[in-house]
């Protein structure tokens, strides 16, 4: 998944790899809603380049508490209009009332967005209670969205276990609850080890989960960024990965 492509050398090398992959692997690209007009122009340029590769379209993130709510809706609608590709908007319920969340869903539907990634969002550190009057769990959000509009709903999956779950089995149980509530697929947090993803699929199958589970990927562009994201998301960095040099290093040699 790509948030921003900066260096032209890195961009060209990465796009070349993606063009080679597109016939074998259907790709989607996750973007953040831009904060300024300059970043908006940069995003439009990027999605124009990625659109031919985006067989599965694009997804647009949303922050907890609704801080990016309007920008997420506007960005999702703009990308859909600009590229003609399907767009999935993240819908995060944490910190919002039920009415606010469902009003956002209504706005997305009115703007032509038919795919939603239904997320509760991460609780602030040290906060473990309920979140009234909003949705306490993503499964509740899925149920509400299912009766609100005919969305194609996806949910989050965690191959290396959500921080709030005591065990992977418990976490897969939560995933199954979300799927049983009406979600049709799950998207993983980015995973760096293919074996981890494969084991997760096997474990899910043993729990009766047969819906598609899509892996999240991150280009190996900058080591500090990748290691920071891995640390934030609890992703294991396999021993063999440091033997690969980032694309930027290759471009300079």
Asked if residue 5 belongs to a domain, the reply is: no
| CA distance linking residue 228 with residue 214, whole number of Å | 22
Count of CB atoms within 10 A of residue 13's CB? 17
Asked if residue 241 belongs to a domain, the reply is: no
* Residue 30 a catalytic site member: yes
Range with lowest mean pLDDT among 56-70, 108-122, 135-149, 216-230: 216-230
Asked if residue 192 belongs to a domain, the reply is: yes
Residue 52 clears pLDDT 70, i.e. is over it? yes
User: Would you state the structure tokens that stand for residue 86, as one six-digit string?
Assistant: 């399907």
Catalytic residue among 30, 140, 143, 160, which?
30
pLDDT band at 198 (very low <50, low <70, confident <90, very high): very high
pLDDT band at 5 (very low <50, low <70, confident <90, very high): very low
Q: How many structural domains are present in the chain?
A: 1
Per the DSSP assignment, residues forming a β-bridge with 28 are 57
How far apart, in Å, are the Cα atoms of 29 and each of 50, 89, 238? 8, 12, 24
Q: Which CATH number do you get for residue 60?
A: 3.20.20.220
Asked if residue 12 belongs to a domain, the reply is: no
Q: Are strands 87-92 and 213-216 parallel, antiparallel or unpaired?
A: unpaired
| CA distance linking residue 53 with residue 103, whole number of Å | 32
| CA distance linking residue 186 with residue 4, whole number of Å | 24
Asked if residue 249 belongs to a domain, the reply is: no
pTM over 0.75: yes
- Domain span at residue 67 reads 25-121+130-215
Strand order in the sheet with 28-31: 28-31, 57-60, 87-92, 115-119, 152-157, 185-190, 213-216
| CA distance linking residue 139 with residue 202, whole number of Å | 22
The residue-averaged pLDDT of 18-34 equals 78
pLDDT band at 236 (very low <50, low <70, confident <90, very high): confident
Mean residue pLDDT of the chain comes to 84
Asked if residue 91 belongs to a domain, the reply is: yes
For the segment 54-113, what is each residue's pLDDT rounded down to a tens digit? 888 999 999 988 889 999 999 999 999 999 999 999 999 998 999 999 999 999 999 999
Asked if residue 48 belongs to a domain, the reply is: yes
HEC assignment per residue over the chain: CCCCCCCHHHHHHHHHHHHHHCCCCCCEEEECCCCCHHHHHHHHHHHHHHHHHCCCEEEECCCHHHCCHHHHHHHHHHHHHHHCCCEEEEEECCCCCHHHHHHHHHHHHHCCCCEEEEECCCCCCCCCCCCCCCCCCHHHHHHHHHHHCCCEEEEEECCCCCCCCCCHHHHHHHHHHHHHCCCCEEEEEECCCHHHHHHHHHHHHHCCCCCCEEEECCCCCCHHHHHHHHHHHCCCCCCCHHHCCCHHHHHHC
Asked if residue 231 belongs to a domain, the reply is: no
Nearest to 178 by CA among 230, 220, 140: 140
């Amino acid at each position: 998944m790509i948030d921003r492509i900066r260096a032209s050398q890195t961009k060209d090398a990465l796009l070349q790899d993606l063009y080679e992959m597109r016939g074998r692997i259907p790709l989607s690209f996750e973007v953040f809603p831009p904060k300024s007009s300059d970043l908006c122009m940069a995003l439009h340029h990027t999605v124009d380049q990625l659109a031919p590769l985006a067989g599965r379209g694009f997804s647009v993130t949303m922050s907890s508490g609704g801080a990016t709510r309007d920008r997420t809706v506007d960005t999702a609608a703009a990308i859909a209009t600009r590229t003609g590709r399907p767009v999935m908007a993240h819908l995060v319920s944490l910190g919002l009332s039920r009415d606010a969340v469902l009003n956002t869903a209504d706005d997305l539907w009115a703007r032509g967005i038919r795919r939603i990634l239904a997320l509760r969002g991460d609780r602030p550190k040290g906060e473990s209670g309920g979140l009234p009057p909003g949705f306490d769990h993503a499964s509740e959000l899925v149920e509400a969205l299912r009766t609100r509009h005919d969305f194609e709903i996806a949910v989050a999956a965690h191959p290396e276990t959500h921080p709030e779950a005591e065990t992977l089995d418990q976490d897969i149980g939560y995933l199954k609850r979300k799927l049983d509530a009406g979600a049709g697929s799950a998207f993983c947090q980015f995973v760096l080890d293919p074996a981890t993803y494969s084991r997760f699929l096997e474990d899910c199958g043993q729990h009766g989960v047969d819906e598609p589970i899509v892996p999240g990927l991150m280009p190996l562009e900058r080591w500090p960024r990748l290691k920071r994201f891995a640390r934030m998301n609890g992703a294991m960095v396999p021993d063999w990965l440091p033997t690969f040099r980032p694309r930027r290093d290759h471009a300079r040699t």
